[in-house]
Structure 1
Amino acid sequence: MGPIWPSYYGNCRALLFVLDASDPTQLSASCAHLLALLSAEQLAEASVLILFNKTDLPCYMSVEEMKSLMRLPDIVACAKQNITTMEISAREGTGLAGVLHWLQDTHRASS
């Protein structure tokens, strides 16, 4: 993450965090970024949606593999935020309706 990102955290009620399920080499860096976001005081009240993208590619890791490698259950247990996960394919549009429903529900709950 660039050093400018924290200046955008104010009034943030929802955070979408996209992981590339087809690139396991970036998983540890992505996990570090996620932990930095979750520890930011301005994002303590934000709901978090972790999106496992590119699940349409034949070389993608399963979501269960990614969750295990990231130790996501431990992260969720320790986080202040409400964290949800979804599988998507932005290219094919798979799962995007669920993302929109999540955003609507999150907006309603925080209003």
Structure 2
Amino acid sequence: MSPIWSSYYGNCHSLLYMMDASNPTQLSASCMQLLGLLSAEELAKASVLILFNKIDLPCYMTMEEIKSLIRLPDIIARAKQNITTVEISASTGAGLATVLLWLQNQHRINPSS
């Protein structure tokens, strides 16, 4: 689906990007996709929420492991966008309240979105 993402960039104020925190191999590939999104000029002013999903699984990576693997501090420091991260479990709902609050705050900042 990523080849058609650019057709949805217009008037985008917020971006939610989900990564699988239980799969280090997939995390690397997802990071490459994320870097592509962050470099898109149309998304330069968008706020970004990166969701690290599957924290309910015994094999999930900690935030420290993820930060190290994908060099998250470097990505955040160099990105034009304001980036927030949250650990979630789509299965159990853990972290969902944080995501909803973030979305609510983004809507307050950009009420037309």
TM-score (norm: length of structure 2): 0.94
Residue 67 of structure 1 and its aligned partner are, at CA, apart by 1.1
Residue 107 of structure 1 and its aligned partner are, at CA, apart by 1.3
How many residues get paired? 111
Do residues 79 (structure 1) and 93 (structure 2) align?
no
Provide the rounded CA distance (Å) in 2 between the counterparts of 1:86 and 1:22.
Answer: 14
Q: Cα RMSD (Å) of the superposition?
A: 0.9
Consecutive unaligned residues of structure 2, counting only runs of 5 or more, are none
Runs of 4+ in structure 1 off by over 4 angstroms are none
Consecutive unaligned residues of structure 1, counting only runs of 5 or more, are none
Q: Which residue of 1 aligns with 2:8?
A: 8
Residue 2 of structure 1 and its aligned partner are, at CA, apart by 2.8
Provide the rounded CA distance (Å) in 2 between the counterparts of 1:57 and 1:107.
Answer: 32
Residue 110 of structure 1 and its aligned partner are, at CA, apart by 2.3
Q: Which residue of 2 aligns with 1:24?
A: 24
Q: Deviations over 1:53-89 (max 9, x none)?
A: 0000001111110111110101101100000000100
Q: Which residue of 1 aligns with 2:36?
A: 36
Provide the rounded CA distance (Å) in 2 between the counterparts of 1:76 and 1:51.
Answer: 14
Give runs of aligned pairs for residues 29-108 of structure 1, distance below 5 A: 29-108=29-108
Q: Deviations over 1:10-53 (max 9, x none)?
A: 11111001010111111111110010000001100100000110
